[in-house]
Amino acid sequence: MITEERIQEVKKMLRGGVPDGEVKEGLLKEGYSKEDIDKVFAPHKYDMRSWYLAFGIIFLLGGLWIFIVNRNWLLLSFSGLMFYQYFKEIERVKERDKNA
């Protein structure tokens, strides 16, 4: 079982320029299992909720202004799309956390 401190040390080594193949071989020689090494090299889990919400609000405000001036619905529809994506992202993150 690899500790969180050891994971941070390895990530610091990787940021320092040590090739990941050498790090993996070193961990194998230290006796860590393949699952422990996979924990170190796990991909970053992205979260786009704040971006979708921010652009949804920006498009809403801009879309309301454009609608009042020109009666154009385009930016308001993009705002709706951003809010839809925001709520879908909330569900995706809940599902990911439940499975993790």
Could you tell me the residue ranges of all domains in the chain?
4-40, 49-99
Mean pLDDT of the residues in the chain: 92
Residue 39 pLDDT greater than 90, yes or no: no
At residue 100, the pLDDT reads: 66
Return the exposure string of 69-95: e unless at least 16 CB atoms fall within 10 Å of the residue's CB, then b. eeeeeebbebbeebbebbeebeeeeee
User: Token pair 């990911």 is at which residue?
Assistant: 96
At residue 46, the pLDDT reads: 85
At residue 51, the pLDDT reads: 96
Are 76 and 56 spatial neighbours (Cβ–Cβ below 8 Å)? Answer: no
Residue 88 pLDDT greater than 80, yes or no: yes
Residue 43 pLDDT greater than 80, yes or no: yes
At residue 63, the pLDDT reads: 96
